[in-house]
Structure 1
Amino acid sequence: MRLQKRERQQKLAALLRENPVLTDGDLAEHFSVSVQTVRLDRLELGIPELRERLKDMAARTLDDVKALPIDEVIGDILDIELDKRAVSVFDVSEDHVFQRNGIARGHHLFAQANSLAVAVIDDDLALTARSELEFRKPVHAGDRVVAKAEVEPGSEKPRRSIVKVVSTVGEDTVFTGTFEMYRTHERGKEGQR
């Protein structure tokens, strides 16, 4: 059953607040309407296109990252709360895949996850001490990889933090990683900058 325009627009706005990386095509499929209808709905609601939403989200996070320059993060950071969580998006292009089979090279997925794990640490220096990785599904050119990092609340080791990263394409998990991060200061201790 099709939704009335007002109800569809309310749900569209709520869905984009929850997941701002959805494309107009994703939204059109979700609501069983044309891409043009989604574009008109966004215009009426004053919601910018995906590229502008991503730029806006990335611009708001620039000052937060401490452990590495923002231009060294692989992908675009959309949201970050230091020592808690972070989200980045990485658009896979033809340059990131093997020519023979069109599958993304694993080091790009690792680089996105690892740089996000470094960026989420609230310290001037964060280094990957150890990692456990699992590549679950192939990623192809044209896919948008959304990586979500969460810092675990405590660590048994001083100056260490555990960051779990899950990367998805659409609804599918394509990569998971657990990163043990070395940090200059103990988390939450005085003197930490």
Structure 2
Amino acid sequence: MQSVFKIYILLLVPSHNTTDGDLQMRRNKKERQQLLIETIKQNPFVTDEELAEKYSVSVQTIRLDRLELSIPELRERIKSVAEKKFSDEIRALPLDEIIGEVIDLNLDDNAISILDINKEHVFKRNGIARGHHLFAQANSLAVAVINDELALTAKASILFTRSVKENERVVAKARVKNVDHTNDRSVVEVRSYVGNELVFKGEFEMYRS
């Protein structure tokens, strides 16, 4: 009877370790979500994968955190920033006709865009990006950086330096090398990178009115 009574008492006593663990988990989640808000505010272009690595949690956890906090996915954040910042600046073509998302722009000087390679961009058999997507990203950025409503590509010299695969991010950087108002021409150099690796380079001779 005595041993039965002891077991009964143990069942009634709450586990302090479990409760402390639950409290710690909730506290960590709250702190992580606050840091998540601050990080995305500082850098709207950070990926879920980068956030997961930063806070030592799974990508799924980050996505759930974003849902709870009503933070849109990366593509929507980039689109929102671009629309607010560049929709009135770009003269040569509408923002939604640029391949990739513009994240920096200084007309007749330089520009940057990013393109996340998804299933729609790659060959099914090997997961490698079709070259025309990389060319289109670079070419449309070369057009966008020109401070002229009638900017058109007159000539292009391009080189693909390595294959780009699904789920990689291509960062294209355009630089206006010279502006020749006499001949109505500008030359734009575009280099595209995955991380620190050069994957594409091109020189575009642009017509301007």
Q: Tell me the CA shift for residue 139 of structure 1.
A: 0.9
**Counterpart in the other structure of 1:119:** 144
Structure 1 or 2, whichever has the larger Rg, is 2
**Counterpart in the other structure of 1:63:** 88
Give secondary structure in 2 for the equivalent of 1:152: strand
CA distance in 1, matches of 2:127, 2:187: 33
Cα deviation digits, residues 84-103 of structure 1 (max 9, x gap): 11111212221211122211
Residue 99 and residue 66 in structure 1: after superposition, are their counterparts in 2 closer, same or farther (change >3 A)? same
Give secondary structure in 1 for the equivalent of 2:134: helix
Task: Structure 1: give runs of 5+ residues left out of the alignment.
Answer: 185-193
* 1:100 is the counterpart of 2:125: yes
Letter aligned with residue 164 of structure 2:
V
Between the aligned residues of both structures, percent identity stands at: 53
| Contact 2:117–2:165 under 8 Å retained in 1 | yes
Task: Structure 2: give runs of 5+ residues left out of the alignment.
Answer: 1-30
Q: How many residues align?
A: 175
* 1:53 is the counterpart of 2:77: yes
RMSD between superposed Cα atoms in Å? 3.4
Cα deviation digits, residues 63-116 of structure 1 (max 9, x gap): 111111222211122221211111112122212111222111101100010011
| Contact 1:62–1:70 under 8 Å retained in 2 | yes
| Contact 1:104–1:138 under 8 Å retained in 2 | yes
- Give TM-score, length-normalised by structure 2: 0.68
CA distance in 2, matches of 1:48, 1:111: 26
| Contact 1:68–1:119 under 8 Å retained in 2 | yes
**Counterpart in the other structure of 2:49:** 25
Letter aligned with residue 89 of structure 2:
D
Residue 35 and residue 153 in structure 1: after superposition, are their counterparts in 2 closer, same or farther (change >3 A)? farther
| Contact 1:128–1:182 under 8 Å retained in 2 | yes
